[in-house]
Every structure is written in structure tokens, then in C-alpha cells.
A = this chain, B = another copy of it.
Amino acid sequence: MKTIGVVDTTFARFNMGSAVVDEIKQHVSARIKRVTVPGIKDLPVASKKLIEEEDCDLVIALGMPGSKDIDKVCAHEASTGLIQAQLMTNRHIIEVFVHENEAGSDKELAYLMEKRSREHALNAVKLLFKPEELVKQAGTGQRQGFEDVGSIGM
């Protein structure tokens, strides 16, 4: 049985981790390991520990960077660390970040955080269980949380 790690933050304003766990359970039978850390900069090592100490085959790392300049820098640092953690373990870590200023209101923000989290949970499921489905979607303009934009031709 595959094991999927889920890590989110206490900084975020919506429980992204629960949305992901719920979505995964609707689609596949997998062992799930969930942890929560204070902020997005704590995600890289938490993800790596889930892979190396809890035998996760893939991790979903969830966060909500704030809207200030310094928050953008933090998000960049966290992303860099998440990529590095993947390279050190040869395991995918799906980063799901929703920037606080991507939405115009709290309601829209919560909607976006839930939708993107669930859609990326499906990407994680495909990567682990049916990677050939992703090849079929190559170049089709998929977007998570927003409407897909589709392919372009010549």
C-alpha cells in the first residue's frame, strides 16, 4: 500500500490539509501521514522527514503565503527548499501554495484554497497510481483552482 504525506501550516487561514486528506480518501486507498508546522519555511524539512522517516511515497505540501513583499520572499525560499528536498529523496513533493492576494475576498480565498488543494490531491494520485493519465494531459493548459485554459494550435 502506498503512503502519502500531507503537511500544512498553522499560518494558513484555511485547513488545506483536511481538504487534501478528504479528497485522497474519495479516490484511492492509501495510508496517509499528516503533520502541521508553523509556517511555509518549515515545510521542506517536514516533507523530507515524512519521506525518510515515515516512508511516504509522495508528499503534498500546503501553504498560504501572505501578501507582503517579505511573504513573497519566504514563499520563494520555501519553494527552493521543497525542490531541493525532492532532489535529495527522488520523491515528488507537490507544492500547493495559494497566495493571500490571489483572491479578492476572504470567501473567494477560502474557495480557492480548498479547490486548489483538492485538484492537486488528484495530481498526486495520478503521479502515484496512473502517471500515463498525466501524459495524456500534456500541453492541455491545466490550472488548479481556476478554470483550465486549454491547448493552443497553429
The chain A residues found within 8 Å of chain B, CB to CB, are 8-18, 34-38, 41-42, 44-46, 48-49, 52-53, 70, 72-88, 90-95, 99, 106-107, 109-111, 114, 120, 123, 127, 131, 134-135, 137-144, 149-154
Contacts and interface: CB of A to CB of B under 8 A. Distances in A.
B152 A109 contact: yes
A153 to B, nearest CB: 6
A81 B79 CA distance: 10
Nearest to A75: B73
Given A37-B127, A140-B10, A74 B85 contact: no
Contacts of A36: 131, 134-135, 137-138
B87 A138 contact: no
A77 B79 contact: yes
B73 A76 contact: yes
Q: How many copies does the complex hold?
A: 5
B45 A91 contact: yes
B90 A53 contact: yes
Nearest to A144: B38
Contacts of A153: 14, 106-107, 110
B92 A45 contact: yes
Given A10-B134, A88-B87, A134-B10, A139 B15 contact: yes
Nearest to A78: B83
